[in-house]
Structure 1
């Protein structure tokens, strides 16, 4: 169990680096030249960042504040993606319990690591359309006491409405990284989905 806890701590540290808006960990990058701030995907990203910054006004992130920010993330889709092929091989009950655990995990990460956006200014610098329902929104983040902008890219997809499905920082797409980490947990536990649920719920 000690080994499992250590693995989970490393996983959470990876996630905190950028998957849930910890802007302080992202790489330095120059300001891009073009932007399409009126694109629906861009508007979603700026709204999400604004909600996160506003939530930090009193330095305390409540469950409700975290859930409001996460309402712009397609948690169901991200949770399903992180299981890869395993998703199709588990029961409907296991799928439901896993998504519930993943949602709690995401909220806890948000509350614990949101401080990276305290006082930040987030500006859309580019929107890379990948089709009518898929876009990469590139942003520059300026935080208090840091003169150099930092770059974050947001994968945004439309399924009825636009939602965030991944975030890139330091050349890492974090949902993809998380999928690999979750796969390692499953491999270590002979594919036992309950072991993964327990890991991300603890």
Structure 2
């Protein structure tokens, strides 16, 4: 999180450079395959390899573009580390986004792969990103099948891309 805040506070970067650096941080920090498997649950096992790969890519783009939309409202907030718990190859890190009138708890669940740690869930104000997506995507797969979910994700990503404004 400090890396993202540092990028946002770097006045020497253009909007495109800011987005590219934040995107790199997200790509290097998040385990999109693990997130995708957890979100899709049994639908992951039933999906073809092509559907799995397409879902990972669309989900990554959805998350990044949603994150970029949130960054558009960035106005100097800071991050504060709360606590961390490590149990074997899993960990949870509690942080707080500090605004002028509140501290918003943001918790990261991580999994160790070899020597590195990767985020597989983010919990904001007690709400799990993975659980939220799992519920909504499960319903979509029930109604429209895996291809219907992928089509809807593609449309959502395209819509978010078209709304992007430069990060200041």
TM (normalized to structure 2)?
0.78
Residue 132 and residue 178 in structure 1: after superposition, are their counterparts in 2 closer, same or farther (change >3 A)? same
SS at 2:101's partner residue?
coil
Q: Which runs of 5+ in 1 are unaligned?
A: 1-44
- CA contact 1:52–1:69 (8 Å) conserved in 2: no
Structure 1 56/103 Cα, relative in aligned 2: closer, same or farther at 3 Å? farther
Alignment match, 1:142: 98
SS in 1 for 2:53: helix
Per-residue deviation, 1:121? 1.0
Give the aligned length. 152
In structure 1, C-alpha distance between the alignment counterparts of 2:72 and 2:39, rounded to whole Å: 25
Q: Contact 1:55–1:65 at 8 Å: present in 2 too?
A: no
Structure 2 unaligned spans of 5+:
156-168
Over 3 Å counting, the alpha-carbon distance change for 1:90 and 1:55 in structure 2 is farther
Compute the displacement of 1:85 (Å). Answer: 0.7
Structure 1 position 123, deviation (Å): 1.1
Q: Map residues 108-127 of structure 1 onto 2, 5 A cutoff.
A: 108-127=65-84
Aligned-residue offset at 1:117 = 4.2
Which residue of 1 is the match for residue 147 of structure 2? 194
In the alignment, structure 1 residue 175 sits paired with structure 2 residue 130:
yes
Aligned-residue offset at 1:57: 7.7
Query: How many Å apart are 1:82 and its aligned residue?
Result: 1.1
Per the alignment, residue 185 of structure 1 pairs with 140
- What are the within-5 Å matches in structure 2 for residues 12-91 of structure 1? 45-47=1-3, 49-50=4-5, 53-54=8-9, 60=15, 63-71=19-27, 72-91=29-48
User: Of 86, 93, 107, which aligns to 2:64?
Assistant: 107
For the residues of structure 2 that align with 1:77 and 1:153, how far apart are their CA atoms? 17
Inter-partner Cα distance in structure 1 for 2:20 and 2:106: 25
2:50 is equivalent to residue 93 of structure 1? yes
Equivalent position of 2:110 in the other structure = 156
In 2, Cα distance between equivalents of 1:154 and 1:117:
20
Q: Structure 1 segments of 4 or more deviating over 6 A? A: 55-59
